[in-house]
Amino acid sequence: MIKELVVGLAVGCVTGWIGLRSRLLSGSGAASVVLSLGLIFVGGGWVWGILTFLVYVAGGIWSRYRAADKKDRLGGLLQTERGWRQIASRVGWSAVLALIYFLLPQASSVFIAFVGALATANADMWATELGILSSRPPRLVTSGRRVSAGTPGGVSALGTVASLGAAWLVGFVGLLLVVLLAYWSGGAWNRAFSWLPLLATLGGLAPCRIASWGPLYRGCIIVIVVIARPRTLSMYAERKPLGFAAGRG
C-alpha cells in the first residue's frame, strides 16, 4: 500500500504541475488531482490509478486542442482553468468507489462501476471539448431547438460521437490493463471484465446525455452498479480476489 501511495502521489504531483504550467488547472485543481490519484492508487491499485491518469491526460490534450477556435466561439464563456469543484465532479465518484473497493476487495461490481464512472466523466469531457468545434449548432436535448455553442443542454452529432468513443475507450483500456497485469503476474483475469467496453459505452453515454439536463446525472452512476450485477456476470467471476485481477497487489 505504501508503494501505491508513493506512486500515486508522485504521478499526481507531475500531472498537477503540468496542469498548472499549461494553465489547465488552478492551485486547488492541481491539489485535487494529487489527492484523487493518491487515493485511487491506494484504494484500487495499479489498474485503477493508471486508468484515472490516462483520463486526466486525455482531458488535458483535448482541452488544448484548437483552443484558439474554442475561445473565438465561446469568448468569456470558455473556462480554461479547472478548480477543485471541476475535478471533484469528474473523478469524485471514482475516488469514492476506490475507497469502497479498499474496504470490500471481493466486490467485483465495484471495479465495473469505477470504469463506468470514469467512462461517464471522459464521455462528458470529450463531448464538451469537441462538440464546441462542431460546424453545426447544437440542439437542446429536451426540445431539439437549435442553440448557440456552449448553451447548457445543447448536444451535437460531433459531441455525441466523441462521447461514444471516449466511453468505449475507457472500457477497452480498462480491460487491456487487467489482462496485461494478469499476464505479467502469471495469474488469471476475471472473465466478467470482457464486458467492460460495452458496459462502459452504455453506462458512459446515458449519464452523459442526462448531464445535458443538469446536475442530476451525478446520481445516475448508480445505474452502472445495477448493470454490473446480473447473474450473467457473476457466472464468470473468478474465485480469486478481485484485487489481484483488477490491479491491487
The full DSSP string for the chain is -HHHHHHHHHHHHHHHHHHHHTTSB-HHHHHHHHHHHHHHHHHT-HHHHHHHHHHHHHHHHHHHTTHHHHHHHHGGG---SB-HHHHHHHHHHHHHHHHHHHH-TT-HHHHHHHHHHHHHHHHHHHHHHHHTT-SS--EETTT--B--TT-TTEE-HHHHHHHHHHHHHHHHHHHHHHHHHHHHHT----GGGGGHHHHHHHHHHHHHHHHTT-GGGGGGGHHHHHHT--HHHHTT--SS-HHHHHT--
Angle formed at CA 56 by CA 98 and CA 23, multiple of 5 degrees: 135
Helix, strand, coil share of the chain (percent; to 5): 75, 5, 25
Q: Can you give the length of the chain in residues?
A: 249
Question: For residue 209, what pLDDT is reported?
Answer: 53
Instruction: List per-residue pLDDT tens for the chain, 249 residues long.
Output: 788 999 999 999 999 999 999 989 999 999 999 999 999 999 999 999 999 999 999 999 998 888 888 878 776 556 678 899 989 988 998 999 999 999 887 777 889 889 988 998 899 889 888 888 888 888 776 667 787 766 666 788 898 899 999 999 999 999 999 999 888 888 888 888 888 999 888 877 765 555 544 434 444 444 444 444 433 333 333 333 344 345 555
Question: Whole-model pTM?
Answer: 0.80
What lies within 8 Å, CB to CB, of 217 at 6+ separation is: 120, 207, 208, 210, 211
Closest of 170, 174, 172 to residue 44, by C-alpha:
174
State how many domains the chain has.
1
- Which amino acid would we find at residue 30? A
Question: For residue 189, what pLDDT is reported?
Answer: 84
Domain that residue 108 falls in: 2-246
Number of H helices, E strands in the chain: 11, 2
